[in-house]
Amino acid sequence: MKVIVLGAGIIGVSTAWHLLERGHEVTLVDRQPDAALETSAGNAGQISVSYCEPWAYKGAPLQILKWMFRKEAPLLFRPQADWQQWRWGLAFLGQCNDKAFARNVAQLVALGAYSHEALRDVVSMTGIEYDRIERGIAHYFTSRKSLDEAAQAVELMRAHGVQRQVLTRDELLAIEPAFRGWGEQHIVGGTYTASDESGDARSFTQALARHCARLGARMLFGRTVHGIEVEGNEVKAVHVSAGSGEDSASNDVSLQADAVVVACGSYSAPLLRSVGVDLPIYPGKGYSATFRILQPEAAPWISTIDDEVQCAMTRMGSHLRVAGTIELAGFDTSLDTPLARARCDLLKRRVEEVLPGVCDTRSEAEGGEPHYWTGLRPATPTNIPFIGQTRVSKLWVNAGHGTLGWTHGAGSGKAIAALISGDRQPIEGFGFLGAA
């Protein structure tokens, strides 16, 4: 089959790779000059199969209300005059109960396990290097109450087959001694998942895109998708901006295929809505800061989650990436607003606090080379992505991976390639879009 994949983030590139593996003819389109230059570029790097709880749980509404006026809140809902935001918020509220939570966790665990295996297969087949560290993920706590709640969550996750342990402070610091100085005073304990891992999503995705090209994919980078043309409830064409040297009166070219997969992250929602497919995917803005490591022997190897600030820290080669916070406020990717600066400062301050002197956190004006970044998580009210066939014939979607797109990327690509090839249920226990 001829398949066009729209979007070359981790999800689109994994989709392309698995389609090629199955012998399909693939065209991959992205507006950026290379793969993984939007949300897949600067994330926390965690392959977080065993930390996959959805945002929506019984206590979330009250917690979010309390956070609403705090600039540094981990999750900030900033009301906009935007019906899509309010609709998404209402759907999210509908998920804030025990029954929905358990249902959502079960699906995320199923997708995570499938995806981890798919990632291992891709890595062993391609030999891609991406600063991978297979030492697990640790979550440390500075509040006894939060640790107790986390211990209860461990029990729940065990019921879903997730192997997560509760650790005392000493056990945690023995696994990751980098936090010893600060941690002995502040950490009260933690949890740990030995089978999780980390790595740089951008390096991985760009390398996999090159493998796709080698396998014969047609790569259309620097090309914006302007529209999907539907006739009689079937995709007729995809209109993309013309490349240099292409002769097109309208400055667009149209592409035809047997299947079109929309994998445009947060931008999938408006694109799909333009052809009557209405999916609740809303951008959840997050930030990261990447600092050069000055003391490699003192920097952490295990990727961690800091419960107090709700940020993740991951070693990526010679740098440390710290990432976190969520803002639900539309498609705003600015880094130079007071709010964005406050959130970036929070990440920097936390690194200075918990790992003093380990990284070069100086600003550019002070002679440092910090890299601050923001990206839009394609968030769904359930945290479960939409993978499958839309109600428009030949139109498929692989989007809405929210906070776990790197974790679920390989598996989501493999699953949609299987569905397009005719498999009905590639992941047991997962609800595919359009499945009978």
By DSSP bridging, strand 259-262 and strand 395-399 are parallel
* Minimum distance of ligand FAD from residue 161's CB (angstroms): 19
Q: Does 412 bind ligand FAD (CB under 6 A)?
A: no
* Number of residues engaging ligand FAD in binding (CB under 6 A): 41
Smaller CB distance to ligand FAD: residue 188 or 419?
A: 419
- Number of residues assigned to the chain: 436
Q: Is 38 in the site for ligand FAD (CB under 6 A)?
A: yes
Sign of CA dihedral 58, 61, 63, 64: positive
The beta strand positions in 333-430, using DSSP E, are: 359-360, 371-379, 386-389, 395-399
Q: How far is the CB of 148 from ligand FAD (least distance, A)?
A: 25
Q: Which residue, 169 or 382, has its beta carbon nearer to ligand FAD?
A: 382
Q: Judged by CB under 6 A, does residue 263 bind ligand FAD?
A: yes
The one-letter code for the residue type at 83 is W
Place of tokens 């705003």: 332
Q: Closest approach of Cβ 367 to ligand FAD, in Å? A: 26
Measured in degrees and rounded to the nearest 5, phi and psi for residue 332 equal: -100, 120
Helices (H), 244-378: 268-273, 338-354
Among 3, 26, 40, 262, binds ligand FAD (CB under 6 A): 40
* Measured CA distances, 295 to 291, 320, 360 (Å): 12, 11, 9
Structure tokens at 320: 């440390």
Q: Are 11 and 18 in contact (CB under 8 A)?
A: no
Site for ligand FAD in 207-246 (CB under 6 A): 224-225
- Residue 352: helix, strand or coil by DSSP? helix
Among 3, 45, 130, 355, binds ligand FAD (CB under 6 A): 45
Report 6-35 residues binding ligand FAD (CB under 6 A): 7-12, 29-32
| Residue of the chain from 4, 19, 28, 44 that contacts ligand FAD (CB under 6 A) | 44
- Which amino acid, 330? G
Residues numbered 304 to 323 that lie near ligand FAD (CB under 6 A) are: 312, 323
The correct pick among 18, 169, 211, 377 for binding ligand FAD (CB under 6 A) is: 377
* CA distance linking residue 153 with residue 147, whole number of Å: 10
- Binding ligand FAD (rule: CB under 6 A), the pick from 56, 407, 417, 433 is 407
Q: Which stretch binds ligand FAD (CB under 6 A): 93-101, 340-348, 357-365, 396-404?
A: 396-404
Kind plus residue range of the DSSP H or E element containing 175: helix 169-175
- Which one-letter DSSP state was computed for residue 46? E
Cβ 399 to ligand FAD, closest distance in Å? 6
Chain residues binding ligand FAD by CB under 6 A are 7-12, 29-32, 37-40, 43-46, 48, 224-225, 263-265, 267, 286-288, 312, 323, 375, 377-378, 399, 401-407
